A and B are shown apart, each in its own frame.
Chain A
Protein backbone atom coordinates (compact mmCIF):
# COMPACT_ATOMS: atom_id res chain seq x y z
CA UNK A 1 0.00 0.00 0.00
CA UNK A 2 1.07 3.58 -0.57
CA UNK A 3 2.26 5.43 2.48
CA UNK A 4 0.15 8.00 4.31
CA UNK A 5 0.27 10.14 7.40
CA UNK A 6 -1.53 8.77 10.42
CA UNK A 7 -3.38 10.78 13.00
CA UNK A 8 -5.39 9.56 15.97
CA UNK A 9 -7.31 12.44 17.57
CA UNK A 10 -9.26 12.04 20.80
CA UNK A 11 -12.20 14.35 20.03
CA UNK A 12 -14.66 14.64 17.16
CA UNK A 13 -13.67 18.28 16.64
CA UNK A 14 -9.99 17.37 16.22
CA UNK A 15 -10.92 14.55 13.82
CA UNK A 16 -12.99 16.90 11.68
CA UNK A 17 -10.10 19.37 11.62
CA UNK A 18 -7.64 16.64 10.63
CA UNK A 19 -9.98 15.49 7.85
CA UNK A 20 -9.78 18.97 6.37
CA UNK A 21 -6.41 18.05 4.83
CA UNK A 22 -6.52 17.27 1.12
CA UNK A 23 -7.23 13.58 0.41
CA UNK A 24 -7.52 12.75 4.09
CA UNK A 25 -9.80 9.85 4.96
CA UNK A 26 -11.40 8.60 8.16
CA UNK A 27 -10.34 5.16 9.45
CA UNK A 28 -12.79 3.11 11.52
CA UNK A 29 -11.68 -0.43 12.31
CA UNK A 30 -9.99 -0.75 8.93
CA UNK A 31 -11.39 -4.20 8.19
CA UNK A 32 -12.35 -3.09 4.69
CA UNK A 33 -10.21 0.00 4.26
CA UNK A 34 -6.85 -1.66 5.00
CA UNK A 35 -7.38 -4.47 2.44
CA UNK A 36 -8.50 -1.77 -0.02
CA UNK A 37 -5.29 0.19 0.60
CA UNK A 38 -3.21 -2.96 0.18
CA UNK A 39 -4.69 -3.37 -3.27
CA UNK A 40 -3.88 0.28 -4.00
CA UNK A 41 -7.53 0.95 -4.75
CA UNK A 42 -7.28 4.05 -2.56
CA UNK A 43 -4.38 6.36 -1.81
CA UNK A 44 -5.28 8.80 0.95
CA UNK A 45 -2.67 11.36 1.99
CA UNK A 46 -3.66 10.93 5.60
CA UNK A 47 -5.71 8.47 7.64
CA UNK A 48 -7.57 9.87 10.62
CA UNK A 49 -8.37 7.08 13.06
CA UNK A 50 -11.56 7.53 15.06
CA UNK A 51 -10.68 4.65 17.40
CA UNK A 52 -9.33 7.02 20.07
CA UNK A 53 -12.52 9.09 20.33
CA UNK A 54 -14.22 7.99 23.55
CA UNK A 55 -17.45 9.91 22.85
CA UNK A 56 -17.96 7.81 19.69
CA UNK A 57 -17.86 4.47 21.48
CA UNK A 58 -20.47 2.36 23.20
CA UNK A 59 -24.17 1.59 23.21
CA UNK A 60 -26.73 3.55 25.23
CA UNK A 61 -30.49 3.92 25.53
CA UNK A 62 -31.87 7.40 24.90
CA UNK A 63 -34.77 9.04 26.75
CA UNK A 64 -37.20 8.10 23.96
CA UNK A 65 -36.20 4.44 24.21
CA UNK A 66 -34.09 4.38 21.05
CA UNK A 67 -30.73 2.64 21.11
CA UNK A 68 -27.78 4.85 20.18
CA UNK A 69 -24.59 3.20 18.95
CA UNK A 70 -21.44 5.32 18.76
CA UNK A 71 -19.91 5.43 15.29
CA UNK A 72 -16.62 3.90 16.48
CA UNK A 73 -18.29 1.03 18.35
CA UNK A 74 -17.07 -2.40 17.29
CA UNK A 75 -19.38 -5.16 16.11
CA UNK A 76 -18.36 -7.26 19.12
CA UNK A 77 -19.41 -4.48 21.50
CA UNK A 78 -22.78 -4.09 19.78
CA UNK A 79 -23.27 -7.88 19.86
CA UNK A 80 -22.85 -7.87 23.64
CA UNK A 81 -24.09 -4.43 24.75
CA UNK A 82 -27.21 -4.16 22.55
CA UNK A 83 -28.39 -7.68 23.35
CA UNK A 84 -30.73 -6.55 26.14
CA UNK A 85 -32.34 -3.56 24.44
CA UNK A 86 -32.30 -4.45 20.75
CA UNK A 87 -31.61 -8.18 20.38
CA UNK A 88 -32.08 -8.32 16.58
CA UNK A 89 -29.43 -5.63 16.12
CA UNK A 90 -27.06 -7.43 18.50
CA UNK A 91 -27.65 -10.71 16.65
CA UNK A 92 -26.83 -9.05 13.33
CA UNK A 93 -23.61 -7.55 14.72
CA UNK A 94 -22.62 -10.99 16.03
CA UNK A 95 -22.85 -12.47 12.51
CA UNK A 96 -20.54 -10.03 10.77
CA UNK A 97 -17.23 -11.48 9.59
CA UNK A 98 -15.53 -13.54 12.28
CA UNK A 99 -14.62 -12.85 15.95
CA UNK A 100 -11.32 -11.09 15.20
CA UNK A 101 -12.95 -8.92 12.54
CA UNK A 102 -15.77 -8.06 14.96
CA UNK A 103 -13.21 -6.90 17.51
CA UNK A 104 -11.99 -4.20 15.10
CA UNK A 105 -14.75 -3.39 12.59
CA UNK A 106 -17.11 -0.53 13.47
CA UNK A 107 -20.67 0.43 12.63
CA UNK A 108 -19.63 3.86 11.35
CA UNK A 109 -17.04 2.34 9.04
CA UNK A 110 -19.50 -0.22 7.72
CA UNK A 111 -22.29 2.17 6.84
CA UNK A 112 -19.97 4.88 5.51
CA UNK A 113 -18.54 2.28 3.13
CA UNK A 114 -22.02 0.96 2.21
CA UNK A 115 -20.81 -2.30 0.73
CA UNK A 116 -23.77 -3.75 -1.21
CA UNK A 117 -23.42 -7.03 0.73
CA UNK A 118 -22.72 -5.62 4.21
CA UNK A 119 -25.05 -6.48 7.09
CA UNK A 120 -25.33 -3.17 8.97
CA UNK A 121 -26.98 -1.17 6.16
CA UNK A 122 -29.91 -3.62 6.36
CA UNK A 123 -30.35 -2.96 10.09
CA UNK A 124 -30.03 0.81 9.71
CA UNK A 125 -32.51 1.00 6.81
CA UNK A 126 -34.78 -1.72 8.20
CA UNK A 127 -35.03 0.01 11.57
CA UNK A 128 -35.54 3.46 10.04
CA UNK A 129 -32.55 4.62 12.09
CA UNK A 130 -31.07 8.09 12.12
CA UNK A 131 -27.43 8.52 11.17
CA UNK A 132 -25.86 11.26 13.29
CA UNK A 133 -22.74 12.96 11.93
CA UNK A 134 -20.54 15.75 13.20
CA UNK A 135 -22.69 18.14 11.12
CA UNK A 136 -26.28 16.85 10.96
CA UNK A 137 -28.78 14.02 11.30
CA UNK A 138 -29.64 11.94 8.25
CA UNK A 139 -32.65 9.61 8.01
CA UNK A 140 -31.67 6.11 6.88
CA UNK A 141 -33.98 6.46 3.86
CA UNK A 142 -31.82 9.38 2.68
CA UNK A 143 -28.43 8.03 3.77
CA UNK A 144 -27.82 5.09 1.44
CA UNK A 145 -27.45 6.31 -2.14
CA UNK A 146 -26.39 3.15 -3.98
CA UNK A 147 -23.45 0.77 -4.05
CA UNK A 148 -20.55 2.23 -2.00
CA UNK A 149 -22.28 5.60 -2.01
CA UNK A 150 -23.87 7.56 0.85
CA UNK A 151 -25.13 11.06 1.65
CA UNK A 152 -21.95 11.76 3.64
CA UNK A 153 -19.97 14.78 2.50
CA UNK A 154 -16.21 14.82 2.20
CA UNK A 155 -14.70 14.75 5.69
CA UNK A 156 -18.05 14.09 7.42
CA UNK A 157 -17.92 11.50 10.21
CA UNK A 158 -20.67 9.15 11.42
CA UNK A 159 -20.59 9.90 15.14
CA UNK A 160 -23.53 7.68 16.10
CA UNK A 161 -26.55 5.80 14.80
CA UNK A 162 -29.88 6.02 16.64
CA UNK A 163 -32.15 3.01 16.25
CA UNK A 164 -35.84 3.18 17.17
CA UNK A 165 -36.58 -0.20 18.75
CA UNK A 166 -39.32 -2.18 16.96
CA UNK A 167 -41.87 -4.48 18.60
CA UNK A 168 -40.18 -7.37 16.83
CA UNK A 169 -37.33 -7.67 14.37
CA UNK A 170 -35.11 -10.27 12.77
CA UNK A 171 -32.17 -10.34 10.41
CA UNK A 172 -31.82 -13.44 8.27
CA UNK A 173 -28.50 -13.78 6.52
CA UNK A 174 -27.71 -16.25 3.76
CA UNK A 175 -23.99 -16.43 4.32
CA UNK A 176 -21.44 -16.32 1.51
CA UNK A 177 -19.03 -18.46 3.51
CA UNK A 178 -15.78 -17.35 1.88
CA UNK A 179 -16.25 -13.61 2.24
CA UNK A 180 -18.54 -13.93 5.29
CA UNK A 181 -20.69 -11.17 3.79
CA UNK A 182 -24.36 -11.75 3.01
CA UNK A 183 -25.15 -13.43 -0.29
CA UNK A 184 -28.58 -12.07 0.58
CA UNK A 185 -29.64 -10.68 3.94
CA UNK A 186 -33.10 -9.43 4.93
CA UNK A 187 -33.97 -7.30 7.94
CA UNK A 188 -37.64 -7.22 8.94
CA UNK A 189 -38.76 -4.81 11.66
CA UNK A 190 -42.33 -4.54 12.90
CA UNK A 191 -43.27 -1.19 14.44
CA UNK A 192 -46.64 -0.06 15.80
CA UNK A 193 -47.06 2.11 12.69
CA UNK A 194 -45.88 -0.38 10.08
CA UNK A 195 -43.41 -2.99 8.90
CA UNK A 196 -40.06 -2.23 7.26
CA UNK A 197 -38.21 -4.75 5.09
CA UNK A 198 -34.61 -3.97 4.08
CA UNK A 199 -32.58 -6.18 1.76
CA UNK A 200 -28.80 -6.33 1.45
CA UNK A 201 -26.52 -8.39 -0.78
CA UNK A 202 -29.01 -8.58 -3.62
CA UNK A 203 -29.25 -5.35 -5.58
CA UNK A 204 -26.87 -3.52 -7.89
CA UNK A 205 -28.09 -0.39 -6.10
CA UNK A 206 -27.03 -1.63 -2.66
CA UNK A 207 -29.38 -1.95 0.30
CA UNK A 208 -33.04 -1.26 -0.50
CA UNK A 209 -36.52 -1.48 0.99
CA UNK A 210 -38.83 -4.08 -0.50
CA UNK A 211 -41.98 -1.99 -0.51
CA UNK A 212 -44.31 -4.69 -1.93
CA UNK A 213 -43.39 -6.98 0.95
CA UNK A 214 -43.92 -4.15 3.43
CA UNK A 215 -47.42 -3.53 2.01
CA UNK A 216 -48.34 -7.20 2.19
CA UNK A 217 -47.00 -7.53 5.75
CA UNK A 218 -48.83 -4.38 6.85
CA UNK A 219 -52.07 -6.08 5.81
CA UNK A 220 -51.19 -9.36 7.44
CA UNK A 221 -47.98 -10.04 9.36
CA UNK A 222 -47.45 -13.69 8.39
CA UNK A 223 -44.90 -15.39 6.18
CA UNK A 224 -47.77 -16.68 4.03
CA UNK A 225 -48.69 -13.11 3.15
CA UNK A 226 -45.56 -13.11 0.95
CA UNK A 227 -46.51 -16.31 -0.88
CA UNK A 228 -47.44 -14.68 -4.20
CA UNK A 229 -44.80 -11.96 -4.16
CA UNK A 230 -41.85 -12.12 -6.54
CA UNK A 231 -39.10 -9.56 -6.78
CA UNK A 232 -37.87 -8.57 -10.23
CA UNK A 233 -34.41 -10.09 -10.82
CA UNK A 234 -33.45 -7.48 -13.45
CA UNK A 235 -31.58 -5.26 -11.01
CA UNK A 236 -30.07 -8.03 -8.88
CA UNK A 237 -26.35 -8.72 -8.55
CA UNK A 238 -25.00 -11.61 -10.61
CA UNK A 239 -21.59 -13.10 -9.82
CA UNK A 240 -19.95 -16.50 -9.51
CA UNK A 241 -21.75 -17.09 -6.21
CA UNK A 242 -25.26 -16.63 -7.56
CA UNK A 243 -27.29 -15.46 -10.55
CA UNK A 244 -29.81 -12.61 -10.53
CA UNK A 245 -32.66 -15.11 -10.43
CA UNK A 246 -31.10 -17.01 -7.53
CA UNK A 247 -30.69 -13.84 -5.49
CA UNK A 248 -34.25 -12.72 -6.29
CA UNK A 249 -35.50 -16.08 -5.07
CA UNK A 250 -33.41 -15.83 -1.90
CA UNK A 251 -34.87 -12.41 -1.11
CA UNK A 252 -38.29 -14.05 -0.86
CA UNK A 253 -37.03 -17.00 1.17
CA UNK A 254 -35.05 -14.88 3.65
CA UNK A 255 -37.91 -12.40 4.08
CA UNK A 256 -40.26 -15.23 5.00
CA UNK A 257 -37.70 -16.60 7.47
CA UNK A 258 -37.33 -13.19 9.04
CA UNK A 259 -41.09 -12.81 9.45
CA UNK A 260 -41.32 -16.27 11.01
CA UNK A 261 -38.50 -15.41 13.39
CA UNK A 262 -40.44 -12.30 14.50
CA UNK A 263 -43.38 -14.43 15.69
Chain B
Protein backbone atom coordinates (compact mmCIF):
# COMPACT_ATOMS: atom_id res chain seq x y z
CA UNK B 1 0.00 0.00 0.00
CA UNK B 2 1.11 3.52 -0.77
CA UNK B 3 -0.16 6.69 0.75
CA UNK B 4 -1.94 9.08 -1.59
CA UNK B 5 -2.89 12.65 -0.73
CA UNK B 6 -5.02 15.06 -2.68
CA UNK B 7 -7.50 17.86 -2.24
CA UNK B 8 -11.08 16.78 -2.82
CA UNK B 9 -13.73 19.49 -3.02
CA UNK B 10 -11.34 21.84 -1.23
CA UNK B 11 -10.54 19.46 1.63
CA UNK B 12 -7.16 17.75 2.11
CA UNK B 13 -7.55 13.99 2.20
CA UNK B 14 -5.22 11.03 2.19
CA UNK B 15 -5.43 7.27 2.30
CA UNK B 16 -3.57 4.06 1.63
CA UNK B 17 -4.10 2.57 -1.80
CA UNK B 18 -2.70 -0.17 -4.02
CA UNK B 19 -1.04 0.57 -7.34
CA UNK B 20 -4.18 -0.62 -9.12
CA UNK B 21 -6.69 1.43 -7.06
CA UNK B 22 -8.73 3.59 -9.40
CA UNK B 23 -9.52 7.20 -8.59
CA UNK B 24 -13.23 6.28 -8.69
CA UNK B 25 -12.64 3.52 -6.12
CA UNK B 26 -10.65 5.84 -3.87
CA UNK B 27 -13.41 8.46 -3.96
CA UNK B 28 -16.22 5.99 -3.38
CA UNK B 29 -14.64 3.45 -1.04
CA UNK B 30 -12.00 5.37 0.91
CA UNK B 31 -13.80 8.72 1.08
CA UNK B 32 -17.40 7.45 0.85
CA UNK B 33 -18.11 10.01 -1.86
CA UNK B 34 -20.52 7.76 -3.71
CA UNK B 35 -21.96 10.51 -5.86
CA UNK B 36 -19.34 9.63 -8.46
CA UNK B 37 -20.98 6.70 -10.21
CA UNK B 38 -19.30 3.81 -11.96
CA UNK B 39 -21.44 2.75 -14.88
CA UNK B 40 -19.59 0.90 -17.59
CA UNK B 41 -16.16 0.76 -15.92
CA UNK B 42 -14.66 0.93 -19.43
CA UNK B 43 -14.44 4.72 -19.92
CA UNK B 44 -17.39 4.80 -22.29
CA UNK B 45 -20.32 6.10 -20.28
CA UNK B 46 -19.01 9.12 -18.38
CA UNK B 47 -20.99 8.55 -15.16
CA UNK B 48 -17.66 8.71 -13.29
CA UNK B 49 -16.52 12.09 -14.63
CA UNK B 50 -14.79 14.25 -12.02
CA UNK B 51 -12.48 17.24 -12.31
CA UNK B 52 -8.75 16.79 -11.81
CA UNK B 53 -6.91 20.09 -11.68
CA UNK B 54 -9.95 21.65 -13.33
CA UNK B 55 -10.21 19.19 -16.21
CA UNK B 56 -12.95 16.62 -16.76
CA UNK B 57 -11.60 13.08 -16.57
CA UNK B 58 -13.14 9.63 -16.30
CA UNK B 59 -12.21 8.60 -12.78
CA UNK B 60 -12.69 4.89 -13.52
CA UNK B 61 -9.88 5.20 -16.02
CA UNK B 62 -7.31 6.95 -13.87
CA UNK B 63 -5.23 5.49 -11.07
CA UNK B 64 -5.68 7.07 -7.65
CA UNK B 65 -1.90 7.46 -7.39
CA UNK B 66 -1.92 9.54 -10.59
CA UNK B 67 -4.03 12.08 -8.70
CA UNK B 68 -1.51 12.41 -5.87
CA UNK B 69 -1.21 16.11 -5.06
CA UNK B 70 -4.07 17.06 -7.41
CA UNK B 71 -7.16 19.20 -6.86
CA UNK B 72 -10.12 16.92 -7.41
CA UNK B 73 -13.70 18.08 -7.75
CA UNK B 74 -16.69 15.74 -7.48
CA UNK B 75 -20.45 16.15 -7.63
CA UNK B 76 -20.51 16.48 -3.81
CA UNK B 77 -18.61 19.77 -4.18
CA UNK B 78 -20.97 21.27 -6.73
CA UNK B 79 -23.76 22.61 -4.52
CA UNK B 80 -23.61 26.18 -3.23
CA UNK B 81 -22.12 26.85 0.21
CA UNK B 82 -25.59 26.97 1.79
CA UNK B 83 -26.43 23.53 0.39
CA UNK B 84 -28.74 24.76 -2.35
CA UNK B 85 -28.29 23.43 -5.87
CA UNK B 86 -25.84 25.33 -8.07
CA UNK B 87 -26.94 26.86 -11.35
CA UNK B 88 -26.28 23.74 -13.42
CA UNK B 89 -27.90 21.36 -10.93
CA UNK B 90 -30.94 23.63 -10.61
CA UNK B 91 -31.25 23.82 -14.39
CA UNK B 92 -31.22 20.00 -14.59
CA UNK B 93 -34.11 19.97 -12.13
CA UNK B 94 -36.01 22.79 -13.82
CA UNK B 95 -35.73 21.27 -17.29
CA UNK B 96 -36.17 17.65 -16.27
CA UNK B 97 -32.64 16.81 -17.39
CA UNK B 98 -32.73 13.47 -15.62
CA UNK B 99 -34.99 10.54 -15.09
CA UNK B 100 -33.26 7.70 -13.24
CA UNK B 101 -30.37 10.01 -12.37
CA UNK B 102 -27.55 7.52 -12.71
CA UNK B 103 -25.69 9.50 -15.37
CA UNK B 104 -26.46 12.87 -13.77
CA UNK B 105 -23.29 13.34 -11.66
CA UNK B 106 -21.15 12.81 -14.75
CA UNK B 107 -23.42 15.01 -16.84
CA UNK B 108 -23.24 17.85 -14.32
CA UNK B 109 -19.45 17.56 -14.00
CA UNK B 110 -19.02 17.52 -17.78
CA UNK B 111 -21.38 20.45 -18.15
CA UNK B 112 -19.40 22.40 -15.54
CA UNK B 113 -16.15 21.69 -17.38
CA UNK B 114 -17.71 22.79 -20.67
CA UNK B 115 -19.12 26.04 -19.28
CA UNK B 116 -15.80 26.91 -17.64
CA UNK B 117 -14.09 26.95 -21.06
CA UNK B 118 -17.08 28.00 -23.13
CA UNK B 119 -19.58 30.02 -21.06
CA UNK B 120 -22.18 30.30 -23.86
CA UNK B 121 -21.98 27.13 -25.94
CA UNK B 122 -24.28 26.52 -28.88
CA UNK B 123 -26.60 23.55 -28.86
CA UNK B 124 -24.28 21.75 -31.28
CA UNK B 125 -21.26 22.43 -29.05
CA UNK B 126 -23.09 21.01 -26.03
CA UNK B 127 -24.10 17.86 -27.90
CA UNK B 128 -20.54 17.43 -29.16
CA UNK B 129 -19.06 17.94 -25.69
CA UNK B 130 -21.37 15.32 -24.19
CA UNK B 131 -20.26 12.60 -26.61
CA UNK B 132 -18.56 10.79 -23.76
CA UNK B 133 -21.56 10.92 -21.40
CA UNK B 134 -24.28 8.39 -22.03
CA UNK B 135 -27.86 8.73 -20.81
CA UNK B 136 -30.29 5.90 -21.42
CA UNK B 137 -33.41 7.71 -20.19
CA UNK B 138 -33.80 11.24 -21.40
CA UNK B 139 -32.84 11.15 -25.05
CA UNK B 140 -30.53 14.07 -24.20
CA UNK B 141 -32.84 16.92 -25.28
CA UNK B 142 -33.63 18.03 -21.74
CA UNK B 143 -29.99 17.71 -20.70
CA UNK B 144 -29.01 20.00 -23.55
CA UNK B 145 -31.81 22.38 -22.57
CA UNK B 146 -30.61 22.41 -18.97
CA UNK B 147 -27.07 23.29 -19.98
CA UNK B 148 -28.31 26.00 -22.34
CA UNK B 149 -30.40 27.40 -19.50
CA UNK B 150 -27.52 27.17 -17.02
CA UNK B 151 -25.45 29.28 -19.39
CA UNK B 152 -28.15 31.93 -19.40
CA UNK B 153 -29.46 31.19 -22.85
CA UNK B 154 -32.94 30.83 -24.24
CA UNK B 155 -33.94 27.20 -24.53
CA UNK B 156 -37.03 27.76 -26.66
CA UNK B 157 -35.13 27.19 -29.89
CA UNK B 158 -34.01 23.64 -29.13
CA UNK B 159 -35.32 21.28 -31.75
CA UNK B 160 -37.11 17.97 -31.34
CA UNK B 161 -39.15 17.18 -28.29
Please give the residue numbers on chain A whose beta carbons come within 8 Å of chain B beta carbons, in ascending order.
1-6, 8, 27, 30-31, 34-35, 37-38, 46-47, 49, 51, 76, 97-101, 103-104, 178, 180
Given the complex, which residues of A lie within 8 Å of B65, measured CB to CB?
A: 6, 8, 49
Give complex CA distance A30, B24 in Å.
14
Q: Which of B2, B44, B46, B56 contacts A103 (CB 8 A)?
A: B56
Give complex CA distance A122, B157 in Å.
39
Q: Which of B19, B42, B49 contacts A35 (CB 8 A)?
A: B42
26 CB contacts below 8 A, A to B, read A1-B20, A2-B20, A4-B19, A4-B20, A5-B19, A6-B2, A6-B63, A8-B66, A30-B61, A30-B63, A34-B43, A34-B63, A35-B61, A37-B20, A38-B42, A46-B19, A49-B63, A49-B65, A76-B55, A97-B132, A98-B131, A99-B114, A100-B43, A100-B49, A180-B131, A180-B132
Given the complex, which residues of A lie within 8 Å of B131, measured CB to CB?
A: 98-99, 180
Known: A49-B66, A99-B110. A31 touches B61 (CB 8 A): yes
Give complex CA distance A104, B62 in Å.
8
Given the complex, which residues of B lie within 8 Å of A27, measured CB to CB?
A: 63
Q: Which of A1, A34, A51, A99 contacts B129 (CB 8 A)?
A: A99
Known: A2-B20, A34-B61, A104-B57. A99 touches B66 (CB 8 A): no
Give complex CA distance A6, B1 in Å.
10
Please give the residue numbers on chain B whose beta carbons come within 8 Å of chain A beta carbons, in ascending order.
2, 18-20, 22, 41-44, 46, 49, 52, 55-58, 61-63, 65-66, 68, 110, 113-114, 129, 131-133
A31 touches B55 (CB 8 A): no
Told that A34-B43, A46-B19, A76-B55 touch, could you supply 11 new A-B pairs with CB distance under 8 A?
A5-B19, A34-B63, A35-B42, A47-B19, A98-B131, A99-B132, A100-B57, A101-B132, A103-B55, A104-B62, A180-B132
A103 touches B66 (CB 8 A): no
The 4 closest A-B CB pairs, nearest first, are A98-B132, A6-B19, A103-B55, A98-B131
Nearest-CB distance from B134 to chain A (Å)?
Answer: 10
Given the complex, which residues of A lie within 8 Å of B56, measured CB to CB?
A: 99-100, 103
Given the complex, which residues of A lie within 8 Å of B20, measured CB to CB?
A: 1-4, 37
Give complex CA distance A228, B61 in Å.
45
Nearest-CB distance from B129 to chain A (Å)?
Answer: 6
Given the complex, which residues of A lie within 8 Å of B62, measured CB to CB?
A: 30, 34, 104
Give complex CA distance A49, B64 in Å.
12
Nearest-CB distance from A208 to chain B (Å)?
Answer: 28
Give complex CA distance A98, B40 in Å.
15
Known: A6-B19, A35-B43. A101 touches B58 (CB 8 A): yes
Given the complex, which residues of B lie within 8 Å of A97, measured CB to CB?
A: 132
Given the complex, which residues of B lie within 8 Å of A46, measured CB to CB?
A: 19
Known: A5-B19, A47-B19. A98 touches B46 (CB 8 A): yes
Nearest-CB distance from A77 to chain B (Å)?
Answer: 10
Nearest-CB distance from B85 to chain A (Å)?
Answer: 23
Given the complex, which residues of B lie within 8 Å of A99, measured CB to CB?
A: 56, 110, 113-114, 129, 131-132
B19 touches A38 (CB 8 A): no
Give complex CA distance A103, B129 in Å.
12
Give complex CA distance A170, B36 in Å.
38
Nearest-CB distance from A71 to chain B (Å)?
Answer: 16
B132 touches A100 (CB 8 A): yes
Given the complex, which residues of B lie within 8 Å of A103, measured CB to CB?
A: 52, 55-57
Give complex CA distance A170, B78 in Å.
40
Nearest-CB distance from B107 to chain A (Å)?
Answer: 12
Given the complex, which residues of A lie within 8 Å of B22, measured CB to CB?
A: 34
Given the complex, which residues of A lie within 8 Å of B42, measured CB to CB?
A: 35, 38
Nearest-CB distance from B43 to chain A (Å)?
Answer: 6
Nearest-CB distance from B124 to chain A (Å)?
Answer: 14
Give complex CA distance A56, B129 in Å.
27
